[in-house]
């Protein structure tokens, strides 16, 4: 079963869940804002895709404090700490299956090749 990690009001997450729904692919949804995300999961993702990939530099939360955030995200440790406390800075959606990160973000063509 796929797990889609994100926040429900994010347009990119909406595109991803709609794509999965339209293609009748079962998934569970993990809401970062309500459920949070642990350091161990973040470390695992960082090992798989790189810690810089996990940062959403386009979002409102990032832009509100981009100077302060830039100082924090110079290291993996700082980045993962920031992401665990400010989950809206996590890039989304992140799709995982059996503990393996399949993709970060949304690209319909990429989804076709990965999931169908």
Q: What is the pTM of this model?
A: 0.93
pLDDT along the chain (116 residues), means of 10: 96 98 98 94 98 92 79 90 92 97 97 96
Rg of the chain in Å (alpha carbons): 14
Residue 26: which domain range?
A: 2-115
pLDDT of residue 12: 96
**Which residue among the candidates 4, 7, 10, 54 is catalytic per the annotation?**
10
Region label for 111, one of left (φ > 0), alpha (ψ between -120 and 50) or beta (otherwise):
alpha
Instruction: Check: CB of residue 73 under 8 Å from CB of residue 79.
Output: yes
Catalytic residue flag (residue 8) = no
Give me the number of domains the chain comprises. Answer: 1
CATH number of the domain to which 61 belongs: 3.40.30.10
pLDDT of residue 62: 83
Cα 8 from chain centre: 12
């Amino acid at each position: 079963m796929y797990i889609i990690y994100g926040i429900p009001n994010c347009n990119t997450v909406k595109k991803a869940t709609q794509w999965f729904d339209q293609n009748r692919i079962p998934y569970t949804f993990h809401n970062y804002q309500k459920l949070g995300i642990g350091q161990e999961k973040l470390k695992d993702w960082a090992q798989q895709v790189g810690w810089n990939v996990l940062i959403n530099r386009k979002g409102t939360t990032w832009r509100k404090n981009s100077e302060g955030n830039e100082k924090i995200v110079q290291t993996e440790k700082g980045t993962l700490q920031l992401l665990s406390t400010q989950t809206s800075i996590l890039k989304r959606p992140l799709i995982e299956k059996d503990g393996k990160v399949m993709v970060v973000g949304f690209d319909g063509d990429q989804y076709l090749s990965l999931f169908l």
